[in-house]
Amino acid sequence: MKRLFAAGLMTLCLWTLMPAVAVAQRSEIGLLAGGSFYLGDINPKRLFSQTRAAGGLYYRYNINTRWAFRLGVTYGRIQADDKHFDNPRNLNFRNDLFDVAATMEVNFLNFFIGSERQYRFTPYLTAGAAVCFHNPKGYYFNPSNDRTEWVALQPLHTEGQGLSDGPKNYSLTQFALPFGIGLRYSISSRVAIGVEWTMRLVFSDYLDDVSGVYADPGRLMAEYGPLSSHFGDPADVQHAIGSQRGDKNTFDWYSFAGITVSVKLGRTREECPAYSTSAIQRYKRKNL
């Protein structure tokens, strides 16, 4: 995962060393504003359930009028609660995600910002790789001060992580595969707007801190304290030790959806040869 992030940054740095005009004609910076949600053990199938605000920044390099590379950073909050699904487990969580993604985009139609004719609109597909930084927290009423708190769950080892017969503790940095769809429309010589929806398949089942079986609450209390025992099984009726708490055979998902605004860098041209012709064609045009 660290190698992936480093490769993305290296690619961006190499492009910044290219001739300034050539890079600027193909480059954009943009904003994403919208919402985020999750699918997993607490919310297994309801799209857009408990959607929370999300936003991000990105850099796009247009290889030509059909293909583009994008490097972006997005923040979003995901959240779910068993009470919304009539589940007596009484589990809940929220998680603030920071997503660093490198993706490729393919336009269905030729497109570039600034077109005044047929190249001003396109649907597109996007897919790539991402690194997700997260920290699930649980909702807790503290009777000692009559206040509600959000408590980090990973240090509490709620499914017995770290015990002699328990699973390994999960990482707060995870690898993900993003993919999605979008629409773009050029509204001026420098600005394009659009809508986009992407899903992220995470190679972890712990965005919600729920995956395996119920651990022994007595051992959780002894090893990690009362909060570990509480969040391990907060139901009104305690579950049997070893009974199913989540589905460890599935991975979690999270999603970003929203409106995009892109600004083209450098000078603008209606039909820039850099977008639509090969290097050989440009050479022939210039020299022959």
Residue range 245-276, pLDDT digits in tens: 999 999 999 999 999 999 999 865 544 554 44
Would you say residue 282 has pLDDT above 80?
A: no
Query: pLDDT confidence of 70, banded at 50, 70, 90?
Result: very high
Q: What is the pLDDT of residues 165-223, one digit of tens each?
A: 889 999 999 999 999 999 999 999 999 999 999 999 999 999 999 999 999 999 999 99
Residue 271: beta bridge partners? none
Q: Judge if 179 and 265 occupy the same domain.
A: yes
User: Considering its fold, how many domains does the chain have in total?
Assistant: 2
Tokens standing for residue 254 = 């999270």
CA dihedral 5, 11, 16, 20 (to 10 degrees): -150
How high is the pLDDT of residue 209?
A: 97
Q: Are residues 16 and 94 in the same domain?
A: yes
| Sequence-distant (≥ 6) Cβ neighbours of residue 170 within 8 angstroms | 154, 161, 204, 206, 211
> For residue 146, what pLDDT is reported?
79
Task: Give yes or no: residues 21 and 146 share one domain.
Answer: no
Same domain, yes or no: 225 and 283? no
Residues 63 and 145 grouped into a single domain: no
Residues 112 and 193 in one domain: yes
User: Whole domain around residue 131: which residue ranges?
Assistant: 2-135+172-206+248-287
17-64: pLDDT as tens digits: 444 444 556 899 999 999 999 999 999 999 999 999 999 999 999 999
